[in-house]
A and B are shown apart, each in its own frame.
Chain A
C-alpha cells in the first residue's frame, strides 16, 4: 500500500460526458502528479501540482483540467469524453516536486467511455 488513494476505482460513462477523478496523496506529500496509461502502453505524464500550484504540464488535452486543493487532495476533470479517453488514470505523490524525489503511485482509476 503506497498511501496514495484514488476514487473511484472504475468508471463507465458515455461519450460527451464529464467525469471527475479524485486523488489523496500520502500524508506529508505536497506534490501530486497525474498520468494516463492506455491499453498496454507506458505512462503519459499529464500534469503536476505542488502545494496547490501547477508546476509542470505534459501532454494534457484542453478538455482535461486539474487542480490541487488546500488540503492537498487533487481532482482531474475530463470533459467531452471520447472513446479514446478510455484508459487507466494514475495519481502519484512525492514529498517535493524536485527531480531527485521518488513518486508513490495510487492504484489507478479505470475509465471506460462507451
Chain B
C-alpha cells in the first residue's frame, strides 16, 4: 500500500502563508491525494484533494509535483484557527491510508 511521509510538526506566524509538504514516492497512477485536518477534540475535516493538477478552493491550494511523488498543501494566510493536525492521505481502490500527520502550530 502506498504511504505518505509528513513532518511531525511545523510552526508558522499568523497571517503568513504556510506550506505543508507530503512525500508519497510509491504513489500509483490511480491514487488520489487528499488532505484533511483535525482540530483539537474534533473529527477530521476535509480540506482539498487532487489527482494530477494543482487545485484551489476557499480553504487552501494543493500543489502536486509533476512526477506525483510529492505534494504541498498551501494555506495562503494562516490564522490561529488553522492550528490543527494536517493529514495527507492517498486513496485508491476504496482504501484509505492515513499517515501520522503534521501538527501545525500558529504563533500570534
List A residues at the B interface (Cβ < 8 Å): 2, 4, 33, 41-45, 48, 55-56, 58, 90, 92, 97-100, 102-108
Contact = CB atoms under 8 A, between A and B. Distances in A.
5 contacts: A42-B100, A44-B98, A55-B94, A99-B93, A100-B49
A56 B44 contact: no
List the 10 shortest-distance A-B pairs measured between CB atoms, nearest first. Answer: A105-B43, A56-B94, A102-B46, A99-B91, A45-B96, A43-B98, A42-B98, A99-B32, A105-B44, A42-B100
Classify chain B's interface size.
20 to 34
Contacts of A103: 36, 44, 46
Contact of A108 (B43, B87, B99, B101): B43
Interface of B: 30-32, 34, 36, 42-46, 49, 51, 87, 91-101
A41 B96 contact: no
A66 to B, nearest CB: 15
B49 A102 contact: yes
Contacts of A92: 43-44
**Residue from the set B31, B44, B49, B100 with the largest chain A CB neighbour count within 10 Å:** B44
A30 to B, nearest CB: 13
A56 B95 contact: yes
A8 to B, nearest CB: 15
A42 B99 contact: yes
Given A99-B91, A100-B32, A102-B34, A33 B46 contact: no
B46 A104 contact: yes
A111 B89 CA distance: 25
A33 B87 CA distance: 17
A93 to B, nearest CB: 11
Contacts of B91: 99-100
Given A43-B87, A56-B94, A104-B46, 12 more contacts: A41-B100, A42-B87, A43-B98, A45-B95, A45-B97, A48-B96, A98-B94, A99-B31, A99-B32, A99-B92, A103-B44, A105-B43
